[in-house]
Amino acid sequence: MELDDEVCLCFHVTRRKVINYLRIEKPSRVAQLSECQGAGTGCGWCRPFLKQLFQQHRAGDPADLTLPTPAQYAELRARYVREGGGTPPPGATPIPVDSDSPQAQDSRPNDRK
């Protein structure tokens, strides 16, 4: 995951913004990352990743956090939301329609002529 990729897909908070927030604001608890443009307060998918960034910063470890690619990250979040993990707020990155869902089947073109 690159610096300008979104960590919080609900509020479009990039990894760069979180890292800068950690560097400048020096929060004492991971929950304070919610003050960084609402990160972690939407569906909840990004909270474990925010925690890892927080712990990495606290340890002074400049090692790169291993995260999935942006496409993988978005798909894993979609699966999390579909399974009842959380509800993205209005304006969040949309959840792709699952090809097996009734909504996707209803939106497929009718093959009848």
Question: pLDDT at position 99, please?
Answer: 54
Cα(25)–Cα(28) distance, rounded to whole angstroms? 9
User: Which positions ≥6 away from 108 have C-beta within 8 Å?
Assistant: none
Q: Report domain extents, the chain.
A: 6-83
What pTM does this model have? 0.81
* Digit-coded pLDDT (tens) for 40-64: 999 999 999 999 999 999 998 766 6
Residue segments in the chain with a per-residue pLDDT below the cut of 70: 62-65, 98-113
Q: What angle in degrees, to the nearest 10, is found between the helix axes of 47-58 and 15-25? A: 40
